[in-house]
Amino acid sequence: MAEKTIPLLPCRTIQPVVDFYTALGFETTYLQKSPYAYAVVERGTVELQFFGMKEYDPAEAFSGCYILTDDVDTLYADFRAGLKAAYGRIPRRGLPRMGPLKDMSYGVRQFLMTDPAGNSIRVGRPISEDQGHRAAPKETFARALHVADVFVDSKEDLPGAAKVIDRALGLEDEQPTPAQHVRLLVLRGDIAQRLGDDALAARLLDRAAGIALTEAEREAARDALVRLEELRE
C-alpha cells in the first residue's frame, strides 16, 4: 500500500492564501468558495489543502506543517524569487513572512515561512541522521547562538532571542570570535527588523559588515553572511 499525508490548514479568507502559494510556484488544483471555502494547492509531490473559518484569527494561529526536501537551497531561492516578483519584496514581518535559511542544531537545514492565514510552513533537509535537539554548547557565545537560533526559528520567540544575544554582546570579560560576532550581530539585526526597529537593525548590520574575516571565518559564518546581504537589499 502507498499512503500519503495531506495537511488540512485553516484560513479566514481563501484567495490571499491561494495567491501566496501561487507566488511560490504551486498550482491551484481545486478552488471552492461555496457552500464553504476550500482550496488545494500542489507543487510536485507537495499538496496542501485549506478550509475557510469565518471566525479564524491568523494572528493567533498555531497550525502548520513540515515539508522535507532533498534540495532546500533551491526551494529557498525559488520561493524568495517568487515572493519578490509577487510582492515587490521579501516579506519578513507580519503576514505573510519568510525567514532565513540556516543549519539548525537539531540536524536539519531549514527555513520557516508563515502564510497569510498564519500557518507555519517549515521547509528542510536532514543534514544529520540524528534530528534530536543537541545539548547547548558550554562556550559562552556558541551557547548564545544555539539558544537564540532555537528561540527565533523554532519557537518564534523573538524578544527571548533578543535578550539572549544582547546579554552575550554586552559581556566585557569575554569576546566572541569574529565569525561568532558576525553571526550574533546579523541574527540580532534580523530580529530587530522583524520587530519593526529598522534603525537598530541597520546599525547592527553595518557593524557586522565592518568585521574583517579570514576565508575560514567567512566559511564558518557563511549563512549569516548570506542573510546579511538579504537583509540589506
pLDDT tens digits for range 171-210: 999 999 999 999 999 999 999 999 999 999 999 999 999 9
Write out the residue range of the structural domain in which residue 201 sits. 136-231
List beta partners, residue 193. Answer: none
Q: Rounded to 5, what percent of the chain is helix, strand, coil?
A: 45, 20, 35
What is the distance of C-alpha 191 from the center of its chain?
11
Same domain assignment for residues 108 and 24 = yes
Q: How many domains does the chain have?
A: 2
CATH, residue 214: 1.25.40
Among candidate residues 207, 104, 107, 117, the one with its CA nearest the CA of residue 148: 104
Are residues 184 and 192 in contact, defined by beta-carbon separation less than 8 angstroms? no
Query: Which pTM does this prediction carry?
Result: 0.89
- Cα–Cα–Cα angle for 196, 202, 207, rounded to 5 degrees: 140
Mean pLDDT for the stretch of residues 65-85: 97
Same domain assignment for residues 144 and 109 = no
Kindly state the cell numbers that stand for 42: 500542489
CATH, residue 109: 3.10.180.10
Same domain assignment for residues 49 and 106 = yes
Amino acid (one-letter) located at 171: L
| Residue 119, domain member (yes or no) | no
Q: Could you report the per-residue pLDDT of 22-49, keeping only the tens digit for each?
A: 999 999 999 999 999 999 999 999 999 9
Q: What is the predicted pLDDT for the residue at 99?
A: 94
Q: What is the predicted pLDDT for the residue at 106?
A: 86
* Residue 131 pLDDT exceeds 70: no
